[in-house]
Every structure is written in structure tokens, then in C-alpha cells.
Amino acid sequence: MPAPRVFVSSTAYDLGLLRGQLRSFVAELGFSPVLSDFADVLYDPRTHTHTSCVKEVPRCDLLVLIIGSRFGSEAIVDAIADIDLEALEAMSTDSSVLKEVDRKLSVTQLEVLKAIEGGLPVFVFVDERVLHDHATYEANRHQPYVDDMLFASISQPGSARYIFSFIDFLRGRLANNAIFPFAKIEDIEAQLRRQWAALFQRMLEEERQTVAERQRIDKLSEQFEDLKTAILTTIGDAPTRDVARGVLNFRFLIDALRGLDIPDFRKALEAGATWYEIMDAADISLPDGVLCLAEDTGSRERETVILERRNGTRLRSRMSGLRFRRLPDEWNQLLGLPPAARLAIYDALSEVRGFGPASFVAIPPAEGQSAYDEEPF
């Protein structure tokens, strides 16, 4: 049975005993602990051990960070290259630790940054003695002598700055920025029990809300179908019913095409112009003028459609790539109706308040070109 994988990130030299106890605690909860010093990480023979540790993080579901008295081993350049530091800078109000010219990051810090980059929940615990000295450092951080100060809680001279700056980064995060002090392993265990239990309860609550919302949507859809059926049954003759059905079935299609400001669109509709002729009238050459771009929305990748006119101007579609692909078939279905019915559908939709060119938004050419990797539609 699959279980959540919990990556425990910390220095090993000073926290070895604590790591062993925490590993047992995580396993007793039914989770799968992942600790580099217990052979839980694949040390790929083709890469450095630092890189292997960093690459193991995205395969986990949670990360627990323990900050003690040591900075640890400085990470190699190849391992740092695996982290998108520029994106991480925007996630905290204090990202100086990532920007400094003499930036130094430990393997432990890289593991945490990789977890943040991948959206993993991170639970941060800092030795209360380190937090006490951190407050002293903060009070003197603008003094020229601050980097020469010795702190009782920091065992490696000269490393205090890098430890304290990383704490500032974590505390300054725009989300998931809680930091818990600890004096003994029991403090960590008690806090994790409470946090994970509350997180599980919140997920169950949100799932119930999602189910309830889905049921409300299904009910509204049924009511809409009932209303649509009731309206159609009150219409006397068959041609009028066809027009009413067309208004319901082709509203999205007509709305999208009106957004392209096609000259003499009504005449083209009446004449039965092909989809290629419609795109040509909109000054878009197929397929080169239709760009389908990959957009990462966090939970999944979504295709965004951008139409490029021959003069270089671009229009971003509000619909997905999948929805856009349906338009040619819908257009052919609309052409299957008599010309009079097509025009009646168009005229009826044109009178609907709020109906109009809102399906596409004009964008500068540079925006469409730089945000994603372009591929022909």
C-alpha cells in the first residue's frame, strides 16, 4: 500500500541521533521516511552524491527540515544548477541568501529549496538556541563586525551568516513560512503529530466541499437541460425549434468568431464559407498563424492558443487548446443548417447583452513569443 514519503533534511554530523529517532517516529505513523544516511536515497553512480540527494526530493510528498548548530557541506555547482534560484527569489520577502555575490548554499539547503520549487509542504524546526542567537544577529546585522561575531549555538566559525540568512528566507516566504523552535526530539514529534493530523482533516474537509460543489453543478446542469427542453417544447414549428437549438449549441462558436472582428462575417456565414476561408478573412493563415503554447499552471500543464495575424499582431484566446480544436467541427455543423437558420441564430445571439468580442485578447508580439516554447498548432 502506498504511503506518503517524508524527506528528512538536516546536517548529519551534529543531528545523527535525532535523525534516527525521527526516522522511527515517521515509520511508526505509517509513513515512509527518506534519510540520506539510512540508504533511503538512490546514489546514482553517474552523478555526485549532492545531486542525488537533491533529485530524490521531488519523489517525496513532505519535507521536514531540522536546523541545528552546523551549516554542513557546501553544495557543488552542478547540484546548485538543478535549482531554479530566480523563481525562488520571488517566493520570499528576504531572498538575499540566494542573491549575494559570495552566495554559499549547503546540501541541506538545496534539498529544501528543491522541495519549495516543487511545491512540497515543508515543516521547519530550528534549535531554540539557534533562534536565540539569530535574534542577536538580526539586531546587529547592519554592523560591520557582525560577520566576525561568535555565537554559542553555531559550531562552525564563519557559518552563522549563511545559517541565519537561510532562516530569514524561510521566514520571509509568502506561504508555508512557519518555523517551529525545538529543544528536544519530543518537541518535533508533538508538533508534527498536530500539524499532520490537522492537514489530513483539512484535506478531508476540502474533499467534502469539492463533492458538494460538484453535486451543485450537476444539479444546475440538470436544471438547465430541463429548462432548455421546456423552452423547445413550447416552440410550435420545426424550423423555429432548429433556430432555438442552434442558439444553444453554437453560442460559444459564434461568440469566439465575433471576437476576431471578421469583415462581413454575417455574409460569410450566409454564403457557407469554409473554416479556412473564415480564418483567412480574419487575416490568419492556417496552420502557421495558430500557435499552441504549453503553460504550466501548477497542478497541470494547459495549452494556450495564440492567433497571429499576418501583420504580426497577436490575440490570446481565453479558451484552451482542446476547446479551440472543436471550433472547426462546430462550424461545419452550423453550415449544415439552411442559410436562413444560420442567419437567424447569428441575429439572435447578436442581441444578447454581453455577447461580443471577449474570446480573444490582444497582446504584444513579444509576450506571446517569450513566455513559452512555441509549436505550430
What pLDDT sits at residue 164? 95
Q: Is residue 63 part of a domain?
A: yes
- 144 and 268 share a domain? no
- Give residue 77's domain range: 5-183
Same domain, 177 and 259: no
In a domain, 280, yes or no: yes
pLDDT attached to residue 219 = 79
Type of residue numbered 349: L
- pLDDT at residue number 352: 61
Annotate 200-220 with DSSP letters as a single string: HHHHHHHHHHHHHHHHHHHHH
Number of domains in the chain: 2
Give the pLDDT of residue 317.
Answer: 84
Tell whether 141 and 24 lie within a shared domain: yes
Rounded to 5°, angle at Cα 217 from 225 and 351: 55
Asked whether residue 176 falls in the same domain as residue 258, the answer is no
Please give the grid coordinates belonging to residue 204: 478531508
Report if residue 237 sits inside a domain.
Answer: no
- Dihedral sign, Cα of residue 56, residue 57, residue 59, residue 65: positive
Residues 153, 18 share a domain: yes
Residues 37 and 160 in one domain: yes
CATH number for 45 = 3.40.50
* pLDDT for position 237: 65
- Considering the domain architecture, whether residues 132 and 273 belong to the same structural domain is answered as no
DSSP annotation string for 250-291: SHHHHHHHHTTT-TTHHHHHHHT--HHHHHHHTT--TTTTEE
**206 domain residue, yes or no:** no
Cβ–Cβ under 8 Å, residues 262 and 271: no
Q: Let me know whether 280 and 145 are in one domain.
A: no
Q: Do 264 and 128 sit in the same domain of this protein?
A: no
pLDDT value of residue 358: 55
The verdict on residue 212 lying in a domain is no
HSE on the CB side for 131, CA within 13 Å? 14
For 47-62, b where at least 16 C-beta lie within 10 A, e where not — what string?
bbebbbbbbbbeebeb
Q: Is residue 194 part of a domain?
A: no
Residue 210 lies in a domain: no
Residue 321: what residue type?
Answer: G
Domain boundary among 165, 183, 201: 183
Low-confidence ranges of the chain (pLDDT < 70): 101, 223-239, 241, 294-302, 352-358, 364-377
* Residue 38 and residue 178 in one domain: yes
Same domain for 149 and 270? no
The residue from 157, 183, 209 where one domain ends is 183
In this structure, the answer to whether residues 268 and 348 fall within a common structural domain is yes
- Of 162, 183, 204, the one marking the end of a domain is 183
Candidates 52, 63, 68, 117; CA nearest to 88 is: 117
Domain-embedded: residue 204: no
pLDDT at 271: 92
